[in-house]
Amino acid sequence: MPLIAQPSHPPAGAVLARLHEIHAAKGYLPEADLRATANDLAIPLSQLYSAAAFYSAFSFQPRGSHTVQGCLGTACYIRGGDRLLEKIGTSLGVKPGETTPDGLFTIETVHCFGSCSMSPVIRVDEETYGRLRVDRVARILKKFTEGTLGEHSIEEQEK
Amino acid sequence: MATLTINGTSVSIPQGALLLRAVEEAGITLPTLCHHDALAPYGACRLCLVMIIAPYRALVASCTYPVEEGLVVQTHAPEAVQARRLTLEALMSRCPRSDVISKMAEREGVTASRFGMPSSGNADELCVLCGLCVRVCRDLIGAAAIEFIGRGSERRVGAPFNMHSDACIGCGACAEVCPTGAIRMEDRGNQRILQAWNTCITLSACPECGRFFAPEPTRFLKDMFPEIKACWNVCPECRRQKTSRQWLNAGQKTD
Amino acid sequence: MTIRSHADLKNLREDGISLLRPERPRICVGMATCGLVAGAGAVFEAIREAGKTYGMDIVLVSTGCIGCCQQEPVVDVYMPGLGRVLYARMTSEDGQKLITALSVSEFPGEHALAVIPEAGSVAPKGMGILSRLPLISELPFYAKQHKIILRNSGLINPESIGEYAAVGGYQGLSRALWGLSPREVIDEITRSGLRGLGGGGFPTGKKWEVCSRAAGTARYIICNADEGNPGAYMDRTILESDPYAVIEGMTIGGYAIGASQGYVYVRNEYPLAIKRIRHAIEQSEALGLLGEDILGSGFSFSIDVVRGAGAFVCGEETALIASMEGGLGEPRARPPYPAIKGLWGQPTIINNVKTLASVSAIVAQGADWYAGIGTDGNAETVVFSLVGKIANTGLVEAPLGLTLNEMIHEIGGGGLDGRRVKAVQTGGPAGGCIPADLFHLPIDYSSLSQAASIMRSGGMVVMDEETCMVDVARYFLSFTIEESCGKCTPCREGARHMVEILTRIIEGKAGPGDLAMLEEVALWVKGASLCGLGQTAPNPVLSTLRYFRDEYDAHVNEKRCPSGVCRALIRLAIVPERCTGCGLCLRECPVGAVSGEKKQPHSIDAALCTRCRTCYEICPEGAVEIVR
């Protein structure tokens, strides 16, 4: 028994759910929100912070308006996923984990969206693009800078 | 009770005890970093690995493995020795300036590490990520001021946001249990400094002599333990003087 | 309506049948994640709009994954009295044309892939174009498949509990709650021979038995849907295509072990799967098939969904539990096993999605039915996601015993673009690479484990002669570095040291002792790590060292990459005679190393070139040469 008594724990999955909520609302995990949440859930701040820092879905820094995720899962890697990421990086001038100076794009790498049959794949916000080649990256990014939604049907791919 | 054989010696251990205890009963000392009798076993450092050779073959961490009737164990089987040596080489590469690690390594026959150093990029690194500090703070003291932060080779121990911890009570248990001296607790005037956690705790001053003697955050103890209420109000030296005067007075009265 | 009797269940089933086999045309568009990525959304809309324009009364359904992902977007068209045809690679224009043809009761010929025979039909092939198409079972992709786990995937609307009942859903749960004791349910599962299909292969019945007997004040059942193995997406497919099967399986499991609370832990990267399972839970609760007093039996059981947050290690049982308990996802020592001491220290069953999806079918149809599938001792089918450098990517379910040759060359259609298949990687980062000369091996637990690979999670990534196996080994170890929790010394430190050595090898800077050191470190990490992630992380290194030693030797001794991949060891050059000066490579080179005038042969500046091979990949004339 610890010297300082601990209150009973929040329900299973509650901590993760709250972290997701904050992240969805604010785009990242602000310090003030984390402090308030630890209080609210009656868990040590160290536990909450440790959990938040462990998972790659969460960021302590604000992200760009659009998140570009390049998949480096096995099937995507074998079919040139790393080249796609490089192309995205050089087009936008940032490395994975960074945000463009204009705050428009944050680049991330993900290890598998489970869309392996469509490899190589990238995701921009909620849209997933597959069967990609390097020369299609620019067109996808342009649609976001120009504000038109990405179209990724077969007819677009074959143009 | 379970009877098992460690390096040919028969030992009897209560059911539910861990293999490391049986190893100690057999008179063998294995190097350990993350093990502490007062804390639940963790199994992180992997130094206490032993080879079970019957009734099945398995390389297990003795600090977390429950004893079983009839186990036959070799603490220095080639697989266990090899695993221990490479673990020490890796730790030497992580903490090249740690005397504790290099002495431990030497005892196991490892005088140099073939891995590039320092593997963490910090030549002064002393932390081996054994987790004793985290576990004592969270599970024994209950302050939960520090935790593991980050994943993989980014893993480190720290207070949230790497800032001064409001939860730290300045008890020094972390510094006490750290096997490599990576955590230092220093009193400077009325401040208790735990550099590793970027934390400064204010110390209470003794009303009688003015010395700084207890961290303010431990004040709650006098409510938890009424018997020490009186102790809190003066420092240990003044308390000692007060108590001896009381005994002397009491003694004189009965004379 | 709350389902409380056989009659209620029958009504639900009949409602579903009227949707599944309506008297009007039924058009199913494959809308699991792969289908959506391929553009199925646009096809669905086009069909819906066209249907309205023609005033046609059709049942238009978005279903889950039909399996032949290479052919997405896929549309399954049923015309009562005429037959059923599967269409492939559809565009929105094709969708319009489809409706135009159907409006005059004709099946269009373009994009038609196969006929799906309807049970009991006398002339399975039907008339017109149908007689010229192969049956779906005759397509090389489907010929050797046998669907149990994927039995409903792509057939039913994953958001319709009625359709699920129509294909036999809830027969298992009702049999269990109305007629069997928890012990009898466990016996049925044990007799069936069902094994953990997440790769562990532990007998499911035995695990349930241990858990039901273990001491505790509460019991839990958790569905492990944290399918983190890159290249594998079978669990995602089941959650998106047949979510009710998982829920039914979990409910049966809860009843068997005495749990009143279940959880589905889904990885964060599967938003559609999360959406579909949540929806299925709501629907089930609404009908009294989940929640209080299920089917009026007195058994109460609820399921909550926990969304992961991007940590591969959380697929490991004890790390998953730690993650659910609100801390970081680091594993714990085993024993004690979760079945005895799991979530909050209570007896906990953790089963994979595929295992739970099989449970309902087994309890409905009986242990003997399941035990009778497959060859001796291998009473089951396995699901693979066949991906990588293969012609037919997709989800394959086949009985154990199928050979790798059959999988790759018949079902898979051989290497992409006709290239020679060099190896197949199974089991994700925990598995190994099997060389082509072992493709005669049957896919089963014992053969593959002898070949140093694991039958785990069924991702099967095909690699061809342009894949460097040393690069693949480093790729997997880099994955380990990113995903290792960092708790134990061997995994945390060892993975990094292995990558250092592999990087030296790949950059042509390896020393004579490097290969021996690599193997030594690999064996150490394998033997000394705390959890399965560390224990299996060296497998890609060990298996490539075993089977592709020649590639390692070439890198170390000759500073040469035989596959033409490793950037430090190759040079790229444009062959002037083949170059038409189209300028594609000039535009796409990420570092601007290509120069040349329009319609004139271009050239690569070796000083700027990073040897990424983008130009090599996209040149329409094949004018870029890799000099090794």
Q: What is the pLDDT of residues C273-327, one digit of tens each?
A: 999 999 999 999 999 999 999 999 999 999 999 999 999 999 999 999 999 999 9
Rounded to whole angstroms, the Cα distance separating C228 from C235 reads: 10
Indicate the CATH number for domain C161-369.
Answer: 3.40.50.11540
Indicate the CATH number for domain B1-126.
Answer: 3.10.20.740
Q: Are residues A91 and A140 in the same domain?
A: yes
The reply to whether residue A74 touches residue C326, judged by beta carbons under 8 angstroms, is: no
C228: chain A residues, CB-CB within 8 Å = 111-112
Paired tokens of C338: 């979760």
Can you give the CATH number for the domain in which A87 is found? 3.40.30.10
C51 φ, ψ to 5°? -60, -40
How many beta-carbon contacts under 8 Å exist across A and C? 216
Q: Are residues A28 and A70 in the same domain?
A: no
Between the alpha carbon of residue A110 and those of residues A70, C126, C319, the distances in Å are 6, 47, 20
Q: Are residues A148 and A81 in the same domain?
A: yes
| Architecture in CATH of C16-142 | 3-Layer(aba) Sandwich (3.40)
Torsion, Cα C286 C290 C295 C298, to 10 degrees, reads: -130
The reply to whether residue C344 touches residue A9, judged by beta carbons under 8 angstroms, is: yes
The reply to whether residue B45 touches residue C489, judged by beta carbons under 8 angstroms, is: yes
B44 contact C CB<8A: yes
Q: Are residues A49 and A87 in the same domain?
A: no
Q: For chain B, where are the E strands, in sequence order?
A: 2-6, 9-13, 49-54, 58-61, 72-74, 147-149, 156-158, 185-188, 191-194, 199-205, 212-215
- Across the range C575-591, mean pLDDT stands at 91
The reply to whether residue B161 touches residue A31, judged by beta carbons under 8 angstroms, is: yes
Domains C16-142 and C161-369 share a fold: no
Which pLDDT value is given to residue A153?
44
Confidence of residue C161 (pLDDT cuts 50, 70, 90): very high
CATH class entry, domain C469-557: mainly alpha
A27 φ, ψ to 5°? 85, -10
Q: Are residues A48 and A116 in the same domain?
A: no
User: Could you give the 3-state DSSP secondary structure of residue C571?
Assistant: strand
Q: Is residue A9 part of a domain?
A: no
Domains in chain A, number: 2
Which pLDDT value is given to residue C119?
65
A150 contact C CB<8A: no
The reply to whether residue B160 touches residue A5, judged by beta carbons under 8 angstroms, is: no
Q: Is residue A18 part of a domain?
A: yes
Q: Nearest residue of B to residue C483 by CA position?
A: B152
Domain that holds residue A43: 14-54
Confidence of residue A154 (pLDDT cuts 50, 70, 90): very low
Q: Are residues A77 and A125 in the same domain?
A: yes
B138: chain A residues, CB-CB within 8 Å = 2, 44, 46-47
Whether the pLDDT of residue C31 is over 50: the answer is yes
Domain assignments of chain B as residue spans, ordered by start: 1-126, 132-241
DSSP assignments along C36-78, one per residue: HHHTHHHHHHHHHHHHHHTT---EEEEE---S-GGG-S-EEEE
> Could you say which DSSP state residue B139 is in?
I
A10: chain C residues, CB-CB within 8 Å = 326
Q: 0.90 exceeded by the pTM?
A: yes
Work out the percent of chain C whose per-residue pLDDT is above 90.
79
Question: For chain B (length 255 residues), average pLDDT per consecutive 10?
Answer: 95 95 96 96 97 96 96 97 97 96 96 87 94 97 96 96 95 96 95 96 91 88 79 82 86 61
C519 contact B CB<8A: no
Whether the pLDDT of residue A148 is over 70: the answer is no
Q: Are residues A41 and A114 in the same domain?
A: no
Candidate from A3, A46, A54 with C-beta closest to B159: A46
- CATH topology for C381-464 is Ubiquitin-like (UB roll) (3.10.20)
A155 contact B CB<8A: no
Q: What is the pLDDT of residues A39-84, one digit of tens each?
A: 999 999 999 999 999 999 999 999 999 999 999 999 999 999 999 9
ipTM (interface predicted TM): 0.93
Whether the pLDDT of residue A10 is over 80: the answer is yes
Rounded to whole angstroms, the Cα distance separating B144 from C608 reads: 53
Rounded to whole angstroms, the Cα distance separating A78 from C462 reads: 9
A113: chain C residues, CB-CB within 8 Å = 33, 269-270
Which pLDDT value is given to residue A159?
42
Domain assignments of chain C as residue spans, ordered by start: 16-142, 161-369, 381-464, 469-557, 570-627
Q: Nearest residue of B to residue C488 by CA position?
A: B44
Candidate from C307, C328, C479 with C-beta closest to A54: C328
The reply to whether residue A76 touches residue C614, judged by beta carbons under 8 angstroms, is: no
Q: Nearest residue of C to residue B94 by CA position?
A: C493
Q: What is the pLDDT of residues C591-610, one digit of tens each?
A: 899 999 999 999 999 999 99
Q: Are residues A48 and A92 in the same domain?
A: no
The reply to whether residue B138 touches residue A3, judged by beta carbons under 8 angstroms, is: no
A4: chain B residues, CB-CB within 8 Å = 141-143, 169, 220
Which pLDDT value is given to residue C473?
97
The reply to whether residue B153 touches residue C332, judged by beta carbons under 8 angstroms, is: no
Site of tokens 């049986």: B22
Whether the pLDDT of residue A126 is over 90: the answer is no
Smallest CA–CA distance, residue C334 to chain B, in Å, is 8
Q: Are residues A40 and A79 in the same domain?
A: no
CB C562, CB C570: distance < 8 Å: no
- Across the range C400-422, mean pLDDT stands at 92
Q: Is residue A92 part of a domain?
A: yes
C529: chain B residues, CB-CB within 8 Å = 46
Which pLDDT value is given to residue C126?
54
Rounded to whole angstroms, the Cα distance separating C563 from C472 reads: 12
Smallest CA–CA distance, residue B134 to chain A, in Å, is 10
CB C442, CB C403: distance < 8 Å: yes
C328: chain B residues, CB-CB within 8 Å = 147-148, 151
Which pLDDT value is given to residue C399?
82
For residue A120, whether the previous peptide bond is cis, meaning omega lies within 30 degrees of 0, is yes
- CATH topology for C570-627 is Alpha-Beta Plaits (3.30.70)
